[in-house]
A and B are shown apart, each in its own frame.
Chain A
Amino acid sequence: MAEIKNILLVGVGGQGTILASKILSTALVDAGYDVKMSEVHGMAQRGGSVTTQIRYGEKVFSPIIGKGEADVMVCFEKMEALRWLEYVKPDAKIVINDFEIPSAPILVGAEEYPQGIIEELSAKTEVSVFKAADIAKELGNPKAMNIVLLGALVKAMGIEDMDWDKFIAENVKKGFEELNIKAFRAGMAAI
């Protein structure tokens, strides 16, 4: 079967994974791939763990990724890397946003935030780590963090040479095009 690439975006409800995946899939469709994307709605959006998944290639059947299938995983939150780890291939590329959102059990002291995630994963596969939150803040809008991460993801996927400015401008809120394009470039430059 013709090769299919699997991209996994993981994070916390409300972090904007859906918008980032939307821009990415628009670009992939435009490049002529068969693309399927799957997202989570409903309950998990209230601060729960969320994923969106993108699969592209010549012909894609399944809209979702099974265990051990993701080629690239981008983690909008650090601990989520651990939760979804079994969905990636042993030699997958992992992009991690060095950003912690403590979950409810951590906040009330019932569980602890795991330590040494980056060190552990870096020893096992190719991991790029950077602080997307700080970059977005520097650009003046912490909410643009998802687009910074999209920039890093595109770099990790090696598909920089598409008309990203256009796809971003088409998909983000009016008036925020400039900011998001800047955020995207900063993300590409960061890894």
Chain B
Amino acid sequence: MTGNEAAARGAYEAGIIFASAYPGTPSTEILENLGGMYKKDIYSEWAPNEKVAVEAAIGAAIAGGRALACMKHVGVNVAADPLMTFGYTGTTAGFVIVSADDPGMHSSQNEQDNRFYAKFAKIPMLEPSNSQEAKDYMKIAYELSEKWSTPVFFRMTTRVCHSKSIVELGERTEAIPFKYEKQITRYVATPANAKGMRVRVEERLKTMEEFSNTTDLNKPEYNGTKVGVISAGVAYQYAREVFGEEASYLKLGFTHPMPMDVIRDFASKVDKLYVVEELEPYMEDQIRAAGIECIGKAVIPNMGELDTDRVRKAVFGEENPTLKSEQKAAGRPPTLCAGCPHRGFFYSLSRRKDVMVTGDIGCYTLGSAEPLFAIDTTICMGASISTGHGASKVFEKIQPGKKVVSVIGDSTFFHSGVTSLMDVVYNRGTSVAVILDNRITGMTGHQQNPGSGYTLMGEPAPAVDIPALCMALGIKKENIHIVNPNDLQENEAALDKALGSDETSVIITKWPCVLKKITEEDRKAFDLSKKQCKVDPEACINCKMCIKTGCPALQAKDGKVVIDSGSCVGCGVCQQVCPMGAIQKVGE
């Protein structure tokens, strides 16, 4: 089982009845598992964003059912507001929030270390180091949550989430639902009530610290006395392998609050103490603050992920011998798929040289790469429209005539783009918002969203009507342009109109992602019959105009361009840019 499968299994065994999440690598599969395999017992849903997911799970837990909320590390930023105060009110039924961090930034915009959130919110934190623990700790998390009436922070990392190891399963125990009671002083966080909550938080912290010092989750393993290693999470697995059988270990599974008594005792029994942790010196700083000498970030890198080789090199200065080559592999960055509907629009957009394009997060972020270079900024989910608005207001003052286009995917628009667009309309902004509606949440592996017409558990659902939503925000009908992004002329016309307008306008590009599972509704709405394009070698002059679209199905070979029939879907974008008419559509 992967760590994510195991975490889902643990939540199932713990008897949860509600789960909510917004997808994000490496956390996504937890909810996909719950909404698939365990849907008979657990109600699971995709929320439009992480804040909503946490709030819904808070409601579920206050109402009396064990609840789970999952997200990637940056999702906790979005959900931090409810989480901080929920730490004050506490919960009725068990509540766990999973934060899946991404050291090494395999698929993220930063590698923030979310362990600080547990400390910040003053709530307990568990850190599994493999799949078995992901399952077992999840059950423990629910027990602790109810014992102390607190939300529990469950911190995983990419290598725990996406590594597979053997897991022994248990049975599901139905949690006994609490009976709902109105408790205003507990759950209404007015200043007056919060003062009482604040005191209880500190008391709870003391109880948690006692637990941390006595639990088996934080148990030393004594071998030799020369070297002692304190570690947690997957870093423990690396350290265990590098330091071997001679060293003694203190593996921490419960890492907030830290078990300072256990650590002090452990430190006194070894000559040299190492702290091996990924990213920030979260443990090391606290250990030092307690006056205990240790070696940590002085040698272990605080950037990127660790592995056995990096730990070995950091500690012993040894490097494994390896094979070397004089040659270097050419870069292989991820690219938009062949026939990706984002490509056509970005191609049209990249022809406009006098615009700033504020981007957002999704597959379409790849439009910033060679050869399209069509995006100027990407900060965080939902930022495109609001940063575009700010930029546009400044250009009005310092560089009149400079226009701004903001591009955002459908899922990202629902996540946090709607309020940004409201800002633009309300404040009479003239930046152009482009909603790239490919009918699905692409980047994270094709999850349903509020616009796709289906739920996580596979039920049909009302789909958000994006043009109607834009109109409701105050955008005039004549300023909303819906285009097929594979049709470059439509793109051009819409861009001309939108950029020429002195009112807020929106372009909605509508075509399904090529990897999306096609539904009945899609078949009705789009012509998805099988097509392909072919290059007539007689007519091709090898000008490579088509290759500038960046479609990976196109390749120049022996002085002519050829199209890979295995990946071309016949979107026709290359055909429209060929000046010689050398590309033709074939197929049914």
Contacts and interface: CB of A to CB of B under 8 A. Distances in A.
Interface of A: 1, 12-13, 25, 29, 34-49, 60-69, 79-80, 82-83, 85-90, 92, 102-114, 116-117, 120-121, 124-125, 142
Contact of A45 (B163, B319, B330, B334): B334
Contact of A47 (B130, B166, B319, B337): B337
The 4 closest A-B pairs by CB, nearest first: A66-B309, A68-B320, A42-B107, A42-B25
A69 B547 contact: no
B541 interface: no
B470 to A, nearest CB: 29
B291 interface: no
Contact of B334 (A34, A48, A62): A48
A67 B163 contact: no
B107 A79 contact: no
B322 interface: yes
A40 B107 CA distance: 9
B3 to A, nearest CB: 9
B232 interface: no
A36 B165 contact: yes
A183 to B, nearest CB: 17
Contacts of B238: 61-62
A108 B184 CA distance: 64
Interface stretch (B7-15, B484-492, B551-559): B551-559
Contact of A62 (B241, B548, B550, B556): B241
Contacts of B325: 82, 85, 117, 120-121
8 contacts: A35-B165, A41-B162, A47-B335, A67-B319, A68-B320, A68-B321, A79-B330, A90-B322
Nearest to B305: A64
Among the interface residues A45, A64, A68, A80, which one has the most CB atoms of the partner chain B within 10 A? A64
Interface of B is mostly: loop
A103 B166 CA distance: 36
B39 interface: no
A47 B163 contact: no
A85 B323 contact: yes
A103 to B, nearest CB: 4
Interface residues of B, number: 62
A108 B325 CA distance: 25
Nearest to B241: A61
Given A79-B330, A89-B322, A108-B370, A46 B310 contact: no
Given A42-B107, A88-B323, A66 B310 contact: yes
A44 B335 contact: no
Contact of B330 (A68, A113, A125): A113
B370 A66 contact: no
Nearest to A116: B327
Contacts of B317: none
B105 to A, nearest CB: 9
A45 B446 CA distance: 12
Contacts of A103: 330-333
A80 B545 CA distance: 28
Interface in B327-378: 327-337, 363, 366, 369-371
